[in-house]
């Protein structure tokens, strides 16, 4: 229940919904119960005889109306009184009128209660979805490296839907159905205490049987979620790597892999459905058995005159008791479905509670410009227990181009990720103009930086919107100017709809060089003082690479740049080259200084690690 109430906390301000819902539900339950109770006076009116009016008049004159606690006598008294005054036809009209008014009030109240609960449910789920997505966006990059994307997607989509249709759906049941049950029981006890006590002796038996049926539902729900997340992961991987799948003739293997998970998921869902569906026929069967038992026992009491109930009272009593199992069944069904809802809710809350490893400091300052240098002072970094950077120190002066080179896996990309705080240092500090980046708000820090990666990250939108991604209010002139600097304008205007051309999922309608130039145009438009370029041309063909390299050269003019490059021309033109090996700064200096040292850099050159101009 801790999870359940935690989910309900997203409904705040809950009193806005709870108070009107309680009021409408009380009216709905009262009038719904009254509708059934009015069966007794209706039947009594139909079967009344005029010569029975005298005793009623006499009773009214001498004893007055009986207590409402004695419900049977109370109804009998007033029905006899109305029959005496208005006749059987007049009494029948009156009772039918009361029933119609009661039904209308019951249904209006029920509708208003449902609308209030629907508003509360949507409000709650709006807050849950927002909290889940916001927290996912705030998580550090290391979390996504360790977690399957399909698992995250399953939590954000299917699990939230499960919460919607199970946990929040039971909010209505948890208050309304117990209240309805209480009203029915009070009415039944008021009619016949002895008969009701006997009736309730068999109710726990039904509850026990149903509880045994739903016992394993939670474990099955957890298993179903895990298998579902695996299926989503396989689907995402297959679609992302569809070229590789086809190139290696692995289509059948991928199909079989997905099919196996699909079968497992289907089997678990079928097992859950069997248990859920079994609860309804079992409860209905037991309900019929119980009602039959009550009819036999109650009928015996009435026929042998051991009960004060008349025949019409007894029929109304049976009608109400037959309805007693409906709220009881609804409550049991809610506990049947709440198992899967709570399990889904726990997974959703895990994602909400996942703490971002990186937060703004309590008194973080805002930095508005960059003038001096970025400094790494004895910085270490580790992925779990594996340390990948060991006390590295170097400086990136303002206006200079610094190239990071070295063997693969040495830690170059990690250094790049530390500057915008995609990840945080284990020890040491990174300073921007003398201020620790942990004491600067991430928004203002990242506002200083432009990033172009090896992988062109684009969105399924127009070329215009992709370029203006970091500056949504950009004008058409500004976007075009950025595209010209990035050598992208010419190919853009030759597309089907120019800047309004949709590029498809992940830019599939564009070539690699075109995608990269749009990414560069995006960086140009944001006009940052510092550029971070991570292998920005490594995946391109020679012709595209020349265009992109020219665009990068335009981009780096008059800016501070930190680059990871594979072209010798780019590296040797850098102001400072920092050679990274096994998480350490092995060497640093200009191209010619490092060649003269005859160290690691010289060996990399001799091994033709870097490409020359094609």
Q: Say if residue 349's pLDDT is above 80.
A: yes
Query: Does domain 456-527 correspond to CATH entry 3.30.70.2860?
Result: no
Which element (helix H / strand E) includes 383?
Answer: strand 373-383
What six digits make up the tokens of 319? 């009608």
Domain ranges in the chain are 12-353, 456-527
Q: What is the pLDDT of residues 528-538, one digit of tens each?
A: 899 898 876 65
**Binning pLDDT at 50, 70 and 90, where does residue 50 land?**
very low
Q: How far apart are CA 185 and CA 195, in angstroms?
A: 11
Q: What is the pLDDT of residues 111-158, one digit of tens each?
A: 998 888 888 888 888 888 888 888 888 777 767 767 777 777 777 777
Q: Determine the average pLDDT of the residues in 409-429.
A: 90
CATH classification (class only), 12-353: mainly alpha
Per the rule left: phi > 0, alpha: psi between -120 and 50, beta: everything else, 421 is left
Residue 570 has a pLDDT of 76
What six digits make up the tokens of 565? 């490059």
Inter-residue contact 319 to 326 (CB < 8 Å): no
Helix (H, G, I), strand (E, B) or coil at 147: coil
Inter-residue contact 483 to 438 (CB < 8 Å): no
SS3 labels along 557-583: CCCEEEEECCEHHHHHCCCEEEEEECC
| Out of 55-64, 237-246, 527-536, least confident range | 55-64
Q: Say if residue 46's pLDDT is above 70.
A: no
Helix (H, G, I), strand (E, B) or coil at 168: coil
Specify the higher pLDDT residue, 577 or 343.
Answer: 577
Length of the chain: 614
Question: pLDDT > 70: what percent of the chain?
Answer: 79
Task: Give the Cα-Cα-Cα angle 450, 452, 458 (nearest 5 degrees).
Answer: 110
- Looking up tokens 């998580």 gives 139
Q: If we measure between CA atoms, which residue out of 187, 173, 175 comes closest to residue 322?
A: 187
Specify the higher pLDDT residue, 397 or 188.
Answer: 397
Helix (H, G, I), strand (E, B) or coil at 529: coil
* Residue 153 DSSP symbol: H
For 322, other C-beta atoms within 10 Å of its C-beta total 16
Highest mean pLDDT among 175-184, 269-278, 352-361, 365-374: 365-374
Q: What is the pLDDT of residues 360-417, one digit of tens each?
A: 777 788 888 888 999 999 999 988 788 899 999 999 999 999 999 988 888 998 999 8
The distance between the two most distant Cα atoms of the chain, rounded to a whole number of Å, is: 128
Inter-residue contact 41 to 92 (CB < 8 Å): no
What six digits make up the tokens of 323? 């309805």
pTM flag (> 0.75)? no
For 164, other C-beta atoms within 10 Å of its C-beta total 18
Q: How far apart are CA 150 and CA 153, in angstroms?
A: 5
**Binning pLDDT at 50, 70 and 90, where does residue 109 land?**
very high
Give residue 511's Cα distance to chain centre.
35
């Amino acid at each position: 229940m801790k999870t359940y109430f935690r989910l309900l906390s997203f409904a705040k301000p809950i009193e806005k919904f709870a108070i009107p819902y309680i009021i409408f539900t009380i009216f709905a339950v009262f009038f719904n119960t009254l509708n059934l109770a009015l069966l007794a006076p209706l039947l009594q009116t139909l079967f009344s005889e005029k010569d029975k009016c005298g005793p009623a008049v006499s009773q009214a004159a001498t004893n007055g109306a009986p207590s409402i606690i004695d419900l049977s006598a109370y109804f009998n008294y007033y029905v006899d009184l109305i029959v005496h005054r208005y006749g059987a036809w007049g009494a029948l009209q009156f009772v039918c009128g009361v029933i119609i008014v009661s039904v209308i009030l019951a249904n209006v109240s029920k509708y208003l209660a449902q609308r209030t609960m629907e508003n509360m449910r949507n409000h709650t789920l709006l807050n849950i979805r927002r909290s889940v997505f916001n927290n996912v966006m705030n998580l550090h990059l290391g979390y996504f490296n360790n977690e399957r994307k399909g698992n995250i997607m399953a939590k954000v989509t299917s699990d939230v839907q499960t919460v919607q249709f199970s946990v929040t759906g039971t909010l209505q049941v948890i208050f309304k159905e117990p209240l309805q049950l209480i009203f029915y029981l009070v009415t039944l006890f008021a009619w016949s205490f002895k008969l009701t006590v006997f009736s309730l002796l068999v109710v726990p038996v039904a509850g026990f049987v149903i509880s045994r049926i739903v016992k394993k539902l939670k474990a099955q729900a957890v298993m179903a979620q895990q298998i579902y997340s695996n299926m989503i992961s396989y689907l995402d991987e297959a679609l992302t790597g569809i070229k590789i799948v086809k190139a290696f003739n692995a289509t059948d293997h991928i199909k079989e892999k997905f099919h196996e998970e699909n079968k497992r998921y289907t089997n678990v869902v079928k097992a859950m459905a069997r248990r859920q569906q079994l609860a309804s026929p079992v409860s209905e069967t037991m309900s019929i058995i119980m009602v039959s038992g009550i009819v036999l026992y109650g009928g015996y009491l009435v026929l042998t005159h051991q009960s004060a109930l008349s025949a019409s009272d007894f029929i109304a009593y049976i009608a109400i008791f037959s309805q007693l199992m409906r709220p009881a069944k609804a409550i049991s069904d809610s506990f049947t479905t709440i198992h899967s809802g709570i399990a889904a809710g726990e997974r959703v809350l895990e994602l909400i509670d996942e703490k971002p490893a990186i937060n703004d400091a309590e008194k973080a300052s805002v930095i508005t410009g960059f003038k001096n240098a970025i400094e790494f002072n004895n910085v270490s970094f580790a992925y779990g227990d594996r340390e990948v950077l060991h006390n590295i120190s170097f400086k990136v002066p303002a206006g200079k181009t610094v190239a990071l080179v070295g063997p693969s896996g040495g830690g170059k990309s990690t250094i790049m990720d530390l500057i915008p705080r995609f990840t945080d240092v284990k020890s040491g500090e990174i300073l921007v103009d003398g201020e620790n980046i942990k004491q600067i708000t991430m928004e203002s820090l990242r506002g200083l930086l432009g990033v172009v990666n090896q992988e062109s990250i684009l969105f399924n939108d127009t070329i215009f919107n992709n370029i203006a991604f970091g500056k949504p209010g950009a004008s058409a002139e500004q976007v075009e100017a950025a595209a010209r600097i990035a050598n992208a304008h010419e190919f853009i205007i030759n597309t089907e709809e120019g800047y309004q051309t949709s590029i498809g999922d992940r830019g599939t309608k564009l070539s690699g060089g075109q995608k990269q130039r749009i990414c560069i145009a995006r960086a140009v438009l944001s006009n940052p003082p510092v550029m971070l370029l991570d292998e920005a041309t490594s995946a391109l063909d020679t012709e595209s690479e020349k265009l992109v390299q020219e665009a990068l050269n335009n981009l780096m003019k008059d800016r501070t740049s930190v680059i990871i490059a594979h072209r010798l021309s780019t590296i040797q033109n850098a102001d400072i080259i920092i050679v990274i090996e096994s998480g350490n700064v092995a060497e640093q200096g200009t191209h010619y200084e490092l060649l003269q040292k005859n160290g690691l850099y010289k060996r990399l050159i001799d091994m033709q690690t870097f490409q020359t101009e094609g």
